[in-house]
Amino acid sequence: MSRPPLPSATIIDVAAKAGVSKSTAARALARYGSVSAKTREAVQKAADELGYQPNALARSMITGRTKTIGVVIPDVGNHFFAVAMRGISTAAREAGYEVLLSSTEGDLALERRAVELLAGKRVDGIVVAPVSTEETGHLERLEGQGIAVTLLDRPASRVKAASFISVNHVEASTLAVNHLIDLGHREIGIVSEALMPEGWEPDAPQESRNLRPSAARLVGYVNALRGAGLRFRDEYVARSAYAKAAAYEATRRLLTDNPQLTAVYCTDSELSAGAFAALQDLKISCPKDMSLIGFDDQDWATLVRPRLTVVDQPSYQLGMAATEELLSTIAADEDRRGDRMLSGRLIVRDSTARPRSAGGR
């Protein structure tokens, strides 16, 4: 049983068996042009008997469309992207598209190669969560090749014609921090993957569209503080790499160095896990001595004690929206940006409460 030389039936075989020309057979099967009912049936019967399956490659050669979209994300294993991927997959399937997936491990070189391969396979469009917001030459080039691009979760301002679908991270952060402020907290720390963007001015909020999620969340924190007349303190920002262990260490340091803190806001699910563990190990009572807000409503938020207050982001909808946007760009056949920002949602549970000294200062 050798593999390649298995010649599956072609439309010519079907046509021959049905006793018609291949043009007619093609029309009968693809339902275009006009074919008599009798012929259609005969062709259909022949196709069924031969187990005919049209060769999508040949079809795409002619039509110029592959009915396939590419997806380029840093890590399918990550909960956020996995769920977003489910949204992408569902939206694509419902529109009759298939998905070529590349997981790039956050490596720019791999991302470049992935995009190139996808372009070689002539996908109709690409949903991408780019590694870098600046080095996007490989994405810009796609536009010249007639491949639609939609940016998921991470901006890339140089890719002019690409739509940008994201959660409004600034707003989501503001939700979280305002909740703490409303409870009476004044000394609020933050565990963040980002540092304040250079040259950031609080009065230029529209710029936030060009921020990556981590930076946007930090900006939302600052905005909320200012909105309440509180001062932003550099030392309240615990910078952490994107890893549970790093967040654990960063949080320990933050709390040890700043005993006056009464609340901490974590800007990502991974960071939330690390921070939560740090609180446990430091034996700091939550929410009595410290309020904690996490990001992303994962399974465990209701299993731990105290149950975790979080800002949830609609990952699934994000994937759906990005795909719908991409497909509509492909269908509309024009380069028009249709950016969309989805809203996060605050879910209050037991890890946030009034600070011990509320009203005492």
Q: Which residues bind DNA (CB under 7 A)?
A: 7-8, 10-12, 19-24, 26-27, 29-30, 32-36, 38-39, 52-55, 58-59, 61-63
Residue placing its CB nearer to its own copies in the complex, 16 or 277: 277
Residue placing its CB nearer to DNA in the complex, 62 or 204: 62
Binders of its own copies: how many residues, by CB under 8 A?
A: 70
Residues 226-245 interacting with its own copies (rule: CB under 8 A): 244
Long-range contacts of 248-254 (CB under 8 A, 24+ apart): 248/274, 248/275, 248/277, 248/278, 248/281, 249/274, 249/278, 250/191, 250/274, 251/191, 251/275, 251/278, 251/279, 252/278, 252/281, 252/282, 254/189, 254/191
**Contact of 273 with 159, CB cutoff 8 Å:** no
Computed on alpha carbons and rounded to an integer, the radius of gyration of the chain in Å comes to: 26
Is residue 141 part of the contact set for its own copies (CB under 8 A)?
Answer: yes
Is residue 337 part of the contact set for its own copies (CB under 8 A)?
Answer: no
**Contact of 339 with 163, CB cutoff 8 Å:** yes
Least distance in Å: CB of 170 to its own copies?
A: 26
Q: Which of 32, 37, 64, 198 binds its own copies (CB under 8 A)?
A: 64
Is residue 6 part of the contact set for its own copies (CB under 8 A)?
Answer: yes
Q: Which of 232, 316, 338, 354 binds its own copies (CB under 8 A)?
A: 316
Which listed option, DNA, its own copies, none, makes contact with residue 3 (CB within 5 to 8 Å by class)? its own copies
Cite the beta strand spans of the chain per DSSP E: 68-73, 98-103, 125-128, 148-152, 163-167, 188-192, 237-239, 263-266, 291-295, 309-312, 340-342, 345-347
**Contact of 266 with 314, CB cutoff 8 Å:** no
Least distance in Å: CB of 235 to its own copies?
A: 27
Least distance in Å: CB of 5 to DNA?
A: 10
- What are φ and ψ of residue 198, in 5° steps? -65, 140
Is residue 98 part of the contact set for its own copies (CB under 8 A)?
Answer: yes
Is residue 55 part of the contact set for its own copies (CB under 8 A)?
Answer: yes
Q: Report the Cα 179 to chain-centroid distance in Å.
A: 26
Q: Which residue has the tokens 């009968």?
A: 28
| Secondary structure in 3-state letters for 144-162 | HCCCEEEEECCCCCCCCCC
- 232, 220, 210, 211: which is closest to 293 by C-alpha? 220
**Contact of 179 with 352, CB cutoff 8 Å:** yes
**Contact string 261-300 vs its own copies (x = CB under 8 A):** ------------x--xx--x-----------------xxx
Least distance in Å: CB of 78 to its own copies?
A: 8
Which listed option, DNA, its own copies, none, makes contact with residue 20 (CB within 5 to 8 Å by class)? DNA
DSSP-based three-state secondary structure for 2:
coil
Least distance in Å: CB of 231 to its own copies?
A: 33
Is residue 349 part of the contact set for its own copies (CB under 8 A)?
Answer: no
Residues that bind its own copies in the complex, under the rule CB under 8 A: 1-4, 6, 8, 51, 53-58, 60-61, 64-66, 68, 75-79, 82-83, 85-86, 89-90, 93, 98-103, 105, 110, 114, 116-122, 141, 144-146, 148, 161, 244, 273, 276-277, 280, 298-300, 302-305, 316, 330, 333-335
